[in-house]
């Protein structure tokens, strides 16, 4: 059975072509092509700019981190003009003062600035503020060790139980400057004045029977 093609008005309807060649029709086809190329170029430029900017940002962050690490020397770091110290294993306030100021007696200033009621109680990774103090001349540096007691002291009980009222005190077995200062002044930090008044270069070493002057 023969298939007849439909006719309209006596004309045979030809199927329309929809191939790749239709894209290149004069006029709007060239306009579409140009616009497509422009869009692709703009997209490529934006992608490259984004990738480049991200890389620069990452490099900048890395450099900042490195600079921050390099600014820390022997545990001391300066942040916004303020010096801080990160406590390391084996540290005590005396050693920190020696390391930072070349003067162990400056530990008192560190303790006061950080409101430390027990100078013997500091822990690894604690962050301490460092006061702005002129460093001691290294040539005048004395060899000393930490005077801080090993255990926490109840200063109020000690001062009440065995108060020292005189201007001198004879050292007894088991005494140390912090304890004597608490009993004499009610303030352990004043051991520095006792040490200076008696020309004590090593506050950890005082001998039984030694008579100490107590500044009043």
Sequence spans of domains, the chain: 76-140, 155-213
Taking the C-alpha atoms of residue 135 and residue 179, their distance in angstroms, rounded to an integer, is: 28
- CATH architecture label of 155-213: Roll (3.10)
| 76-140: CATH superfamily | LysM domain (3.10.350.10)
- pTM of the shown model: 0.41
pLDDT in tens, 59-71: 555 444 434 444 5
| Separation CA 210–CA 129 (nearest Å) | 36
pLDDT, one tens digit per residue, over 110-162 is 988 998 877 778 889 899 999 988 655 544 444 344 444 444 444 444 444 57
- Phi first, then psi: what are they for 211, rounded to 5°? -95, 120
Residues 194 and 213: their CA atoms lie apart, in Å, by 7
- How open is the CA angle 162-168-171, to the nearest 5 degrees? 65
């Amino acid at each position: 059975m023969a298939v007849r093609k439909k006719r309209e008005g006596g004309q045979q309807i030809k199927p329309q072509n929809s191939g790749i060649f239709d894209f290149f029709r004069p006029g709007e086809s060239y306009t579409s092509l140009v616009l497509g190329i422009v869009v692709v170029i703009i997209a490529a430029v934006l992608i490259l700019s984004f990738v480049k900017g991200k890389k620069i940002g990452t490099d900048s962050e890395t450099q900042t981190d490195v600079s921050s690490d390099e600014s820390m020397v022997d545990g001391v770091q300066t942040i916004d003009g303020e010096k801080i110290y990160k406590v390391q294993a084996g540290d005590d306030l005396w050693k920190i003062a020696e390391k930072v100021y070349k003067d162990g007696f400056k530990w008192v200033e560190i303790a006061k600035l950080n409101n430390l009621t027990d100078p013997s109680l500091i822990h690894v990774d604690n962050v301490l503020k460092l006061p702005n103090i002129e460093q001691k001349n290294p040539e005048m540096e004395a060899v000393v060790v930490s005077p801080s007691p090993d255990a926490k002291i109840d200063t109020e009980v000690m001062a009440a139980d065995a108060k020292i009222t005189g201007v001198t005190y004879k050292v007894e077995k088991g005494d140390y400057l912090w304890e004597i200062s608490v009993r004499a002044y009610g303030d352990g930090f004043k051991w520095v004045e006792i040490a200076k008044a008696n020309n004590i270069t090593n506050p950890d070493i005082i001998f039984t029977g030694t008579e100490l002057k107590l500044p009043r």
